[in-house]
Structure 1
Amino acid sequence: MKNRQFFWVLILVFVIAVSLTSWHCAKKENNILNKENSKYSNEKVLLSFDSTLVETFYAKYPKLFTYKKQTTSLYKKNQYSFIWYDKKGRKETADVIYNKLNNLFEDGLETKVPYKSELDAMFQKTTSKPNIDVELFLTNYYFFYTNKVLQGLDETKSNDLGWYLPRKKQSYVDYLDSLLVDPKLINKNEQLIGQYYKLKAVLHKYIAIEKNGGWKPIKFPEGLKELKPGDSSSIVEDIRSRLLLTGDIGANSKSKVYDESLAKAVLKYKKRNGFFSDNIILPKHIQEMNVSISDRIKTIIVNMERCRWIAKDIIKDKEFIVINIPSYRLTYFKEDKVVLSSDVVVGTSLNKTVVFSGMMSYIVFCPYWNVPNSIKEKEILPALRKNKNYLINHQMEWHNGNIRQKPGPKNSLGLIKFLFPNNNNIYLHDTPSKSLFNEEKRAFSHGCIRIAKPKELAELILKNDPNWSPEKIDAAMNGGKEKWITLKNKIPVHIGYFTSWVDEEGNINFYKDIYNRDNTLASLLLEN
């Protein structure tokens, strides 16, 4: 009996001991968990801030108010957590953005950064502990950077400058998420069209030339009308030095003789500057060489800005046509390859060709020319009052109260036109005035675009259509009757305005600012 009682006492003691041990273990584990939770909670509090501090910031720094909407949206998305700091301190991306602000000139911008001195002082003093002013400054400056460097002037201002190519509105919040993970992405040439980065590379070269003194003006000798290969003159040395700086000639022999090496360099220079390709050097060529390095830099900068206005995916179509007004050039791309280049005639300064995009939908063989009211009122009716046979002499007729020109080789539209319906009533067409393509400056039209190779363009567009062989196209062009063709696949047509452009060989090309738009744009960039 006593043994049995002793046994149950031992069992009771064992149970109590086990219970006490479990209780102590559980208490210890809870204490550890509470400490961890407390630590996590404190860290979370440390990396968050009061939302009212955003209002306080803009009250203190009102010049950044432009970016308040974007900033507020970003922090709401992130529950008002610090973006530029983590538990280790300020993130690498913060330094990347700060460095970009210090080097905006690399992107062709001379914009003043508001409150930059205040940020400089804070950035130097700040420690690993999160600083709310530095945090909000960096966020605002991130949007400042994307606005200036990636987006450019707003669409209202670009429209005021006559630019109606499609622009894509983008949110750079997701881009920031990527940068915070990998700051090096900011230096990848992916956010804008490739031409922007090509111009940027040339800009750096030209800035280096400017820092080294640029180039000196060349004086064309009085009484000298031209220079041709074989001639000898002191000016030849100056031309060599000038072309060496821009990479048109590989070495400077310092010879006064216009030799073969210089002739090749002159051809390259002329091609880059919109001149006809020959070896004759005229005063106008020297005048172009004398355009200052600072003016060339300005031209590059304004065209970098125009690149910011172009949607990146604008050239992703399998085929598209590009017309650059200042270069008087049409380029037809298929599968990323140039299949046709053609000289064009564009609108005069009074009848500017509009910068916009359209979809080529129709080809018209042997077209009528329906005379626009503006031309009818200003030109044809006054001529008709002077000569009652004016319409007959020009193969014109009245049609439904308007005037039109009959199809044929003398028709102002030539033998074919290409339509991409638009509100500007602009299209591509042939012309009977072929001699205009012999001019270096070809701004002669009322706004439409005359092409030197209309038949070749039609053949390429209809190449895969079994109903249209080159022979049938030729017959339709010369058939004397208007014939419309609806294209099975519409082709994007982009009309742009670039006074500098880097070609596929990496050479910078400069063209005359025929509509005087560069200076206006440069002034706007300085204001912003």
Structure 2
Amino acid sequence: MKIWYTPIIATVFFAVFSCNSKADKKEENSIKTVEKVPELKLTIDSIRIAKFYENYPKLDKFKNDVISLYQKNKSTQLWQDNKGIVEFANTLFNQYKNMDQEGLKANYPYNEQLNSVFDNNANTKLSKEDTDLLLSNLYYYYGEKVGGFDEKTVVSLEWLLPRKKLNYQVFSDSIFKKSTILDDKKRKMFSQYYKLRDALKEYREIEKNGGWKTIETGEDYKSLKVGDSSAVVAQIRERLFVTKDIQEDNKSAICDTTLIKAMKNYELRHGYTAKNTILLEHINDLNIPVSDRIKTIIVNMERCRWIDPELEKGQKYIEVNIPEFRLYIVEDGKIAFISPVVVGRAMTKTVIFSGMMSNIVFSPYWNVPPSIIKSEIKPGMAKDKNYLQKKNLEWNNGAVRQLPGKNNSLGLVKFLFPNSSNIYLHDTPSKSLFERESRAFSHGCVRVAKPRELAIELLKVDPQWNPERIDKAMHAGKESWYTLKKKVPVYIGYFTAWVDRQGNLNFYKDIYGRDESMIKLLTEE
């Protein structure tokens, strides 16, 4: 097909081309006349840095890192160029201003001066050098906050699990790469942290919308069951609707199966045994203000900052959450085993730490700790000369031990992961304790409700140890040891808020009273 160019088309084409050519030449000439802005090059040496910390002493703890940082950058600026503040600095400032989303308080010591840097309407009195130094210190301040309390503080809070450590060399170098702590994809955290952060957002939205009303009950309130009619029922229904434990608030004052089912779901998420009645203790739990729940979430986000995310990469490990009174085996990222546990009472707290399980001891002796000999056994012997025999105890090289058997305090099997606190997992003859909602009764060790099943789970990799052989060893009445072919990591933690694998937010009672002191540390100026 031929294309015919008429004189009109040719004229238009020529005109457009001519105009564009003229425009291009005009633009080219205008570019040539624009003055080039000189490159910004500030001198920020050790003398300048020392002067800065004289004026800003509250930032002094970052001094050595900042000096090293600028030495790597040939004593020149990091956060500014000839156009002003670089984009990465704005990103840092925005992250700092949104620290509340991370459950942290944005209380940079020189907040007023910092704000003036980013307030376009303000005439900042800061020099360019001090501006740069202020931002470098903000970077370290932010990194310190999102990294969690320092190691000394964590240890003082009796947390001895492996700590996520901030590599300050890599941290400093990341400024030049404009990455790491400001990038959620690169700032790897313990996975539970992100789940709690989402929960924090959700509960703050609830708080923003007015939270939930206090459920009013009379002094004669005892319980509610299916079929009961009461004004309290409508209040409970409204309260459960706020936290999505019930899908619809029909305003009914009659307790029906839908309400009881929703309440059971709530009870399970808050550390209770699901019941067919709504007790006063459940009402009291429902009445805990949303502001308190938010504090609990924030505290547990901080605990997550201390956890090295590498711990989750293990093919198989055991985790115990003390306030939850549960033990889990996690294998390839999935829960392979669950058992209720009994933990230490308030006076003999179970230690928060980790170890490597190496041995299973069947039909164990119980070597009685000196503290128990002093507080229980000697007073018992003073009252009854047959005390040792009745308790199946014997002297053993100046110490006391309990003979193997079904009445042994360690039960029929124990699981060892050597540690300085002499903590281990074990069976117990006191089975009734596992039926209680609060299970803090031990001297510090962790009693397992399903010890036989735990042994089977741990030994399934060894075909020679089938359930029949395990049963025989547990009831042999003679102590025998098995060394695991591959040691299994054990992590004993303390979380009063936890999002489970189904996405449900769970709250547990702070049985050791650890949350309040952490809230004070997180909110102090």
Report if TM-score (shorter chain) is over 0.5.
yes
How much has 1:220 moved relative to structure 2? 2.5
CA distance in 2, matches of 1:369, 1:51: 63
- Which residue is 2:289 aligned to? 292
Q: For 1:62 and 1:165, how far apart are their aligned partners in 2?
A: 33
Q: Structure 1 residues 83-92 or 240-249, which shifts more?
A: 83-92
Q: How does 1:481-520 map to 2 (within 5 A)?
A: 481-520=478-517
How far off is 1:88 after superposition? 4.6
Q: SS in structure 2 opposite 1:411? A: coil
| Alpha-carbon displacement from aligned partner over 1:95-147 (angstroms, at most 9, x marks no partner) | 111112222211112252211111111322599x9922221111101110110
Equivalent residues in 2 for 1:218-237, closer than 5 Å: 218-237=215-234
SS at 1:187 equivalent: coil
Q: Verify the 8 A CA contact 1:111 1:525 in the aligned structure 2.
A: no
**What is the distance in 1 between the residues matched to 2:269 and 2:214?**
19
What is aligned with 2:161? 165
* Residue 455 (structure 1) aligned with residue 464 (structure 2): no
**Equivalent residue in structure 2 for 1:67, among 62, 68, 87:** 62
Q: CA deviation at 1:272?
A: 0.6
Amino acid at match of 1:272: R
Task: Identify the match of residue 405 of structure 1 among 402, 406, 415.
Answer: 402
Match for residue 374 of structure 1? 371
Instruction: Say yes or no: does 1:415 pair with 2:412.
Output: yes
Measure how far apart 1:215 and its partner are.
1.3
Equivalent residue pairs, number: 486
1:282 to 276, 279, 291: 279
Quote the residue 1:174 is aligned against: 170
Cα gap change, 1:91 to 1:174, in 2 (>3 Å): farther
The alpha carbon displacement at 1:309 in A equals 1.3
Equivalent residues of 2:344, 2:445 under 8 A apart: yes
Hey, what does 2:256 align to over in structure 1?
A: 259
Q: Deviations over 1:158-202 (max 9, x none)?
A: 111111111132125535655665669523374321111111111
Partner of 1:93: 88
Residue 267 of structure 1: how far off its partner (Å)? 1.5
Please say if residues 85 and 130 of structure 1, whose CA atoms lie closer than 8 Å, have aligned partners that are also in contact. no
| Aligned-partner SS, 2:183 | helix
Q: Select the residue among 501, 520, 523 that pairs with 1:523.
A: 520
Q: Which of 148, 163, 179 does residue 152 from structure 1 map onto?
A: 148
Contact 2:43/2:129 (8 A) holds in 1: no
Q: How far apart are residue 251 of structure 1 and its match?
A: 1.6
CA contact (8 A) 1:203 1:297 kept: yes
Cα distance in 2 between the residues matched to 1:476 and 1:497: 33
Output the CA distance in 2 between the equivalents of 1:182 and 1:132.
20
Check the 8 A contact 2:103/2:298 in 1, yes or no: yes
> For 1:88 and 1:411, how far apart are their aligned partners in 2?
77
Deviations 1:477-505 (A, max 9, x none): 01111001111101110001111111112
Q: Give the counterpart letter for 1:52 in structure 2.
A: I
Q: After superposing the two structures, state which structure 1 stretch, 415-424 or 170-179, moved more.
A: 170-179
Of 73, 77, 80, the residue aligned with 2:72 is 77
Considering only aligned residues, what root-mean-square deviation do their CA atoms show, in Å? 2.1
Q: For residue 475 of structure 1, report the CA deviation from its aligned partner.
A: 0.6
Once the 2 structures are TM-superposed, how far is the Cα of residue 523 of structure 1 from its aligned partner? 1.2
Percent identical among aligned pairs is 51
Give the CA deviation at 1:514.
0.6
Aligned to 1:239: 236
> How does the TM-score come out when normalised to structure 1?
0.88
Unaligned runs of 5+ in 1: 1-38
Moved more, 251-260 or 447-456: 251-260
CA shift at 1:436, angstroms?
0.3
Moved more, 203-212 or 347-356: 203-212
Question: TM-score, normalization: structure 2?
Answer: 0.89
Partner of 2:278, secondary structure, is coil
Aligned match of 1:362: 359
Moved more, 99-108 or 348-357: 99-108
Q: Which secondary structure does the structure 2 equivalent of 1:240 belong to?
A: helix
* Cα separation, 2, equivalents of 1:265 and 1:182: 48
2:423 aligned with 1:426: yes
Partner of 1:250: 247
Q: Distance in 2 between matches of 1:179 and 1:256?
A: 60
TM-aligned CA deviation for residue 239 of structure 1? 0.6
Structure (1 or 2) with the larger CA radius of gyration: 1
- Is the 8 Å Cα contact of residues 323 and 330 (structure 1) preserved in structure 2? yes
Residue by residue over 1:355-392, the C-alpha shift from the partner in whole angstroms, topping out at 9 and shown as x without a partner, is 00111010000000000000001001100110011111
- 3-state DSSP class of the match of 1:494? strand
* Distance in 2, Cα, partners of 1:301 & 1:171: 24
Partner of residue 350, structure 1 = 347
- Once the two structures are superposed, the pairs formed by residues 286-365 of structure 1 within 5 Å of their partners are 286-365=283-362
Structure 1 residue 412: Cα displacement: 0.4
